[in-house]
């Protein structure tokens, strides 16, 4: 697809207004195709569009907009593929450029999320934290709900910000959506592994308290990504426990989820 549907609710604060070609679909009235800006100071979208031969503009609060359709940034698909295939460090320059140019807009799988993952892969957790703070500045719920949250938690874990991480996980368990709750359980497993040491008890606890619970109890479609992650992490734990058959079973189940 060359277009991305953007939720009008999901907004990242912008220091300056960038004009992005696209279509704004208001809650009432006809769609407007033109140049779209997010005005951080007034918390409004401005769209400049043609009305006959004249260029006019309209302002809309996020609550007055159903969705936006914007051109997919060049290089986004390749950068996401690099992050997903374990080559996140190579994706950093492209994602930094995309986030800088599109920083007032996020879509279903925001470039900011992949940039955080890429910066972590490059060994720069502090830059990943700064990127995350830009997102959270205007959407505090992203710290514990939605697709961005698990990436943010990995940053907190890497930086040893344990109290902040614990607060996020508690909110995710009580206020987050089901998929985020599953990711919160995965993060519990990650914490156990990170803090427990390289012992059989550590990997057994991570399995029983986290990864296997996600793999066996969160079977609905919204939890597919969390379940896939849990299966792969469970396989790694079984490897550490010397249980190769069970590790292979987890990997086989993960392949079936893809």
pLDDT of residue 143: 93
| Strands of 32-39's sheet in order across | 3-7, 65-71, 20-26, 32-39, 44-51, 54-60
What is the number of structural domains in the chain?
2
Q: Is residue 53 part of a domain?
A: yes
What are 2's two structure tokens?
């060359």
Over the stretch 148-180, which tens digit does the pLDDT of each residue have?
999 999 999 999 999 999 999 999 988 778 999
Tens digit of pLDDT for each residue in 84-102?
888 999 999 999 988 877 7
Coil/strand/helix, residue 29? coil
- Domain for residue 106, yes or no? no
The parts of the chain modelled with pLDDT lower than 70 are 1-18, 40, 103-109
Instruction: Indicate the residue among 55, 70, 85 that finishes a domain.
Output: 70
Contacts of 199 (CB under 8 A, 6+ apart): none
Dihedral over alpha carbons 189, 191, 192, 198 (to 10 degrees): 110
- 166 neighbors 175 (Cβ within 8 angstroms): no
CA angle 101, 107, 112 (to 5 degrees): 55
The domain in which residue 66 lies consists of: 3-70
Please check whether residue 121 lies inside any domain of the structure.
Answer: no
Residue that the structure tokens 């710290």 belong to: 143
Q: Is 121 helix (H, G, I), strand (E, B) or coil?
A: helix
Q: Please tell me the predicted confidence (pLDDT) of residue 19.
A: 73
Q: Is residue 96 part of a domain?
A: no
């Amino acid at each position: 697809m060359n277009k991305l549907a953007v939720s009008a609710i999901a907004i990242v604060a912008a220091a300056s207004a960038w004009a992005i070609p696209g279509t704004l679909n208001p809650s009432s009235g006809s769609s407007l195709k033109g140049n779209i800006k997010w005005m951080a100071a007034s918390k409004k979208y401005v769209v400049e569009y043609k009305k006959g031969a004249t260029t006019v503009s309209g302002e809309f609060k996020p609550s007055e907009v159903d969705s936006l359709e914007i051109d997919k940034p060049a290089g986004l698909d390749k950068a996401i593929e690099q992050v997903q295939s374990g080559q996140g460090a190579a994706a950093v320059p492209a994602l930094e450029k995309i986030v800088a140019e599109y920083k007032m807009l996020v879509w279903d799988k925001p470039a900011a999320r992949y940039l955080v993952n890429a910066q972590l892969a490059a060994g720069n957790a502090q830059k990943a934290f700064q990127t995350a703070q830009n997102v959270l500045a205007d959407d505090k719920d992203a710290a514990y709900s939605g697709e961005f949250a698990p990436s943010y938690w990995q940053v907190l874990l890497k930086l040893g910000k344990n109290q902040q991480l614990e607060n996020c996980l508690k909110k995710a368990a009580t206020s987050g959506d089901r998929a985020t709750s599953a990711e919160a359980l995965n993060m519990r497993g990650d914490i156990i592994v990170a803090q427990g040491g390289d012992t059989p008890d550590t990997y057994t606890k991570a399995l029983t308290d986290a990864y296997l619970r996600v793999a066996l109890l969160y079977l609905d479609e919204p939890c597919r990504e969390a379940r896939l992650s849990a299966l792969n992490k469970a396989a790694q734990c079984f490897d550490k426990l010397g249980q190769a058959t069970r590790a292979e079973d987890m990997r086989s189940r993960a392949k079936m989820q893809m």
